[in-house]
Structure 1
Amino acid sequence: MAIIAIVGRTNVGKSTLFNRISKSSKALVDDLPGVTRDRNYARGMWDEKSFTLVDTGGYIIKDDSLFDQSTREQIFHALQEADMLLFVADGKTGLHPEDSALLNILRRTSKPIFFSVNKIDGPEQQGPLADFYALGVQDIYPISAAHGFGVGELVSDMVKFIPEPASLEAGEEAEVSEIRISILGRPNVGKSTLVNRVLGAPRVIVSPIPGTTRDAVDTLFERDARKYLLIDTAGIRKKGKTKEKLEKLSIIKALQSIDKSHICVLLIDASEGVADQDLHIAGYIQERYRACIVGVNKWDAFDSNPKTRKNFLEDLKWRFRFMPFAPILTFSALTGKGTQKVLP
């Protein structure tokens, strides 16, 4: 399946366009620059052609922070795996030096590039397009990701580069849907570290700062001829501790990921023990009748005394007695020890 990566500097409307094309609201959208940090995936269909759409974080020239550096790395990973690149610029703010810098990087990939200028709400607002021809771009697509203007023409031209879908031979079965697995838990229990460990690649940004993951980040992968969709989610705090609008939206996304999952992995920090919030999250999973695995992370840092470990697991099993069907797995996402049990 063809992969189309959406790239551009911060706050140009990439996530809004991602949601428009994929006909979903999977990506968080906010006026605050830098809302998207990781790559986010969705499947799209246009003119009877399927593709995978990738939303990326905003490109910033300066590497002033850990998140800026990590976001740039995620963008470069997206460029490597993509078959086509959809560049998005901001028609309201006009041409920016970061547009030129990023476009030079894209051109070195030798992949098809479609150049769009967003926030153009109609033909009468196309005046700002003239500045962008200074980049040496032949075709510019004026679009409004928010209202849909010009998006249809853009995507129709992109999918022309996708080969016609092969028809199924007699007796051949259609593609089996992937198994969807959500990784859930409180902030900083190691969800993104576990995702990267399972995938064997730095798929999502990891840092010791709680709240690093803002969006529910989907990753399609295949193992032993079976397809999976792994969903890394934002940490779910208690309601009273959630004050920022963006964090509230992130938590809503995390809870929505339960609905679309077949299996939920509830991650617990062994060094902190079971908190009431862990039980609340388990309640959300049970209410939606989803299969569940209780994963005890950072087990390598826990007291090595066998009796202490046994008492801990017995207490954990008792506190989760309302979910007797959920197996309890111990592992270290950081070192990888025991993580093979999550996806045997």
Structure 2
Amino acid sequence: MSKLPVVVIAGRPNVGKSTLFNRLVGRRQALVSDMPGVTRDRKEGEAKLRGRQVRIIDTAGLEEAAPDTLFGRMRASSESAVGQADLVLFCIDARAGVTPADAHFAAWLRKQNKPVLLIANKAEGAAATAEALEAYSLGLGTPLALSAEHGEGIAHLMGEIADRLPEEVRASKARVLEDEEENERPAGPLRMAIVGRPNAGKSTLLNRLLGEERMITGPEPGLTRDSISVMLEDEHGPIQLVDTAGLRRKARIDQPLERMSVSASIEALKMAEVVVLTLDATLGVHEQDLQIARLIEREGRACVLALNKWDAVEDRTATRKAISDRLEISLAQMRGIPVVTFSALTGAGLHKLLPTVRRAYEIWNSRVTTGELNRWFEEMLERHAPPLVDGKRLKLRYMTQAKSRPPTFILFGTRAEMLPDAYKRYLVNGLRETFHLPGTPIRLQLRGTKNPYVESK
């Protein structure tokens, strides 16, 4: 994966960092709310600024707090992002003027030996622009007055970012571009989303896979509010990991911010190719876990069931059997779903997860030849003939696979569209067993043939 120049947006809470991030990446990627402290984890996106591809990182608000508190962990994450930056965009609220917190963190930034571009955001109108001049006192150079919400000054900012990136980054980027011209363009990454109920250990899992404290974690449920995308590479190639906010029952969601978080999680699930449904193994399978699994099946995504906190399970045999029985009864449409047990906190057993994800992805992409499919289909018809409908037996003729991702088959025959659900399940289960398609959604579409001797009315 090529290394892009990194631009980090930093500042105290509620100065418009996420709104500015969305403007720069060109889409509404980060959650935005009037409530301060919405952003907790670093949000990354790519942007093309004056012809230069850069990586933009949105961070949590910088606040004074004890290291072991939530706000302390958020600040540590933001400071870690600043440490990776090639350029820092330090944002203040022009309408509020320079606050003691702004002055404190500006002093800290001056000691980091990082190029800093001072942004006076929310500078709508002449009065706010004049107030932005107060930011000279921060000692970070000339403030750039703009309004991220209204798009004022964004074009100028993009040019300033491109001009201020260090020369060595430009040279490195030029070498990367030369290398890409010489080599064949790599295939896109496997898209994997981590979903589940709050406090199942999704962010701890992502941190363990990355080998760094990338996400804010802790005992508090619901820490992750936005869907956070990061890149990982295993021996088979790149994987785009997306950590999501916990999904609760609709009846329990009453805050607008949580509704936005849930919408972002569902959107990430829909965009994924493989979804890792993470459960707290000490609690077993909850009804909400099954609802999430059914959503994954409806969206046609490959799924891996991840049983986290396995090290805390006392009777593992009984727990595994109880979970398998519950899945067999309540999730028959995804029979054979792969299950991985591990501890995200210690890393025990985690080496099995990515190979299982890769295998689920291969099954999701499976194709069956038409000849092989119809030989199987004839055997299925001989074993159990199609049922009678309105006193007449359905004449099923042949099958073909229309597409993969997920495997989708079309069944042709006279009045095939009237096939009962029980017989469709018989065929789907046969497809799953014979062609080794465990756990993946299977689509069976029915196409009736028109009788040419029957006059249409």
TM-score over 0.5 for the alignment? yes
* Equivalent position of 1:139 in the other structure: 142
* Equivalent position of 1:295 in the other structure: 306
How far apart in 2 are the matches of 1:274 and 1:218?
26
The aligned amino acid for 2:8 is A
**Does 315-324 or 71-80 show the bigger shift?**
315-324
Q: Which protein is bigger by CA-based radius of gyration?
A: 2
How far apart in 2 are the matches of 1:338 and 1:329?
8
How big is the shift at 1:122?
4.2
Q: Does 2:214 correspond to 1:211?
A: no
**Does 174-183 or 137-146 show the bigger shift?**
174-183
* Equivalent position of 2:440 in the other structure: none
Contact 2:15–2:93, Cα closer than 8 Å, also in 1 = yes
Correspondences of 1:116-195 after superposition (within 5 Å): 116-122=119-125, 125-160=128-163, 161=165, 163=170, 165=174, 166-167=177-178, 172-195=183-206
Question: Taking structure 1 as reference, are residues 333 and 170 closer, same or farther at Cα in structure 2, changes over 3 Å only?
Answer: closer
* Equivalent position of 2:244 in the other structure: 233
Q: Does 2:81 correspond to 1:70?
A: no
- String of CA shifts for 1:276-317, please: whole Å, max 9, x gaps: 211111122222222211111122222335355334334334
Question: Taking structure 1 as reference, are residues 157 and 174 closer, same or farther at Cα in structure 2, changes over 3 Å only?
Answer: farther
Contact 1:122–1:149, Cα closer than 8 Å, also in 2 = no
Question: Taking structure 1 as reference, are residues 309 and 279 closer, same or farther at Cα in structure 2, changes over 3 Å only?
Answer: closer
How big is the shift at 1:98?
1.2
How far apart in 1 are the matches of 2:145 and 2:324?
58
3, 8, 13: which one aligns with 1:10: 13
**Does 199-208 or 217-226 show the bigger shift?**
217-226
How big is the shift at 1:239?
0.4
TM-score normalised according to structure 1 size: 0.94
The percentage of aligned residue pairs carrying the same residue is 37
How far apart in 2 are the matches of 1:114 and 1:235?
35
How big is the shift at 1:204?
0.9
SS in structure 1 of the partner of residue 297 of structure 2: helix
90, 97, 110: which one aligns with 2:113: 110
37, 45, 53: which one aligns with 2:56: 53
How big is the shift at 1:35?
0.6
* Equivalent position of 2:264 in the other structure: 253
How big is the shift at 1:259?
2.1
SS in structure 1 of the partner of residue 332 of structure 2: coil
Question: Taking structure 1 as reference, are residues 326 and 122 closer, same or farther at Cα in structure 2, changes over 3 Å only?
Answer: farther
How big is the shift at 1:70?
0.6
Pairwise CA RMSD = 2.0
Q: Does 2:95 correspond to 1:92?
A: yes
How far apart in 1 are the matches of 2:85 and 2:140?
20
How big is the shift at 1:170?
6.0
Contact 1:168–1:174, Cα closer than 8 Å, also in 2 = no
Contact 2:124–2:147, Cα closer than 8 Å, also in 1 = yes
How big is the shift at 1:110?
1.4
How big is the shift at 1:187?
0.8
Question: Taking structure 1 as reference, are residues 184 and 308 closer, same or farther at Cα in structure 2, changes over 3 Å only?
Answer: closer
Question: Taking structure 1 as reference, are residues 175 and 100 closer, same or farther at Cα in structure 2, changes over 3 Å only?
Answer: farther
Question: Taking structure 1 as reference, are residues 147 and 301 closer, same or farther at Cα in structure 2, changes over 3 Å only?
Answer: same
The aligned amino acid for 1:327 is P
SS in structure 2 of the partner of residue 322 of structure 1: helix
Contact 1:37–1:67, Cα closer than 8 Å, also in 2 = no
Question: Taking structure 1 as reference, are residues 305 and 103 closer, same or farther at Cα in structure 2, changes over 3 Å only?
Answer: closer
* Equivalent position of 2:342 in the other structure: 331
How big is the shift at 1:327?
1.3
Contact 1:6–1:53, Cα closer than 8 Å, also in 2 = yes
Q: Which has the higher helix share?
A: 2
- String of CA shifts for 1:108-153, please: whole Å, max 9, x gaps: 2212111110001245641102211111233211111101101111
SS in structure 2 of the partner of residue 126 of structure 1: helix
- Contiguous gaps of at least 5 residues in structure 1: none
How big is the shift at 1:225?
7.0
Q: Which has the higher contact order (CA 8 A, sep 6+)?
A: 1
Question: Taking structure 1 as reference, are residues 314 and 98 closer, same or farther at Cα in structure 2, changes over 3 Å only?
Answer: same
Q: Does 2:332 correspond to 1:321?
A: yes
231, 234, 244: which one aligns with 1:220: 231
The aligned amino acid for 1:312 is I
How far apart in 2 are the matches of 1:333 and 1:251?
23
Contact 2:61–2:74, Cα closer than 8 Å, also in 1 = yes
Question: Taking structure 1 as reference, are residues 144 and 309 closer, same or farther at Cα in structure 2, changes over 3 Å only?
Answer: same
SS in structure 1 of the partner of residue 130 of structure 2: coil
The aligned amino acid for 1:3 is V
Q: Which runs of 4+ in 1 moved over 6 A?
A: none
